[in-house]
Amino acid sequence: MYVGGIPYFYYSGMFYRSYNNNQYEVIRPPIGAVVTELPADAQGVIVDGDEYFLSYGTYYRAYVNENHQLVYEVVGEQ
């Protein structure tokens, strides 16, 4: 996936960046990334009356996209 023109890889709730000839490192989710599933440890939280999901210090917001699919957007960090 691309976020802000930068390529990222996403697998099983984790984001990765490639570097140095096909080596990968786990990174914090980029703000604005949209995924179809949350990390397994994500828990619902209420912030200022709105529901978010929190996983390892990253906040996700659920919404239904233009294809009527439930997705989650990375919206912030703790």
Query: Could you report the average pLDDT of every consecutive run of 10 residues in the chain (78 residues)?
Result: 89 86 90 92 95 95 97 95
Report the pLDDT value the prediction gives residue 14, as an integer from 0 to 100: 85
| Type and span of the H or E element at 32 | none
Report the pLDDT value the prediction gives residue 24, as an integer from 0 to 100: 92
- pTM for the model stands at 0.85
Report the pLDDT value the prediction gives residue 72, as an integer from 0 to 100: 96
Q: What is the spatial distance between Cα 15 and Cα 8, in angstroms, rounded to a whole number? A: 7
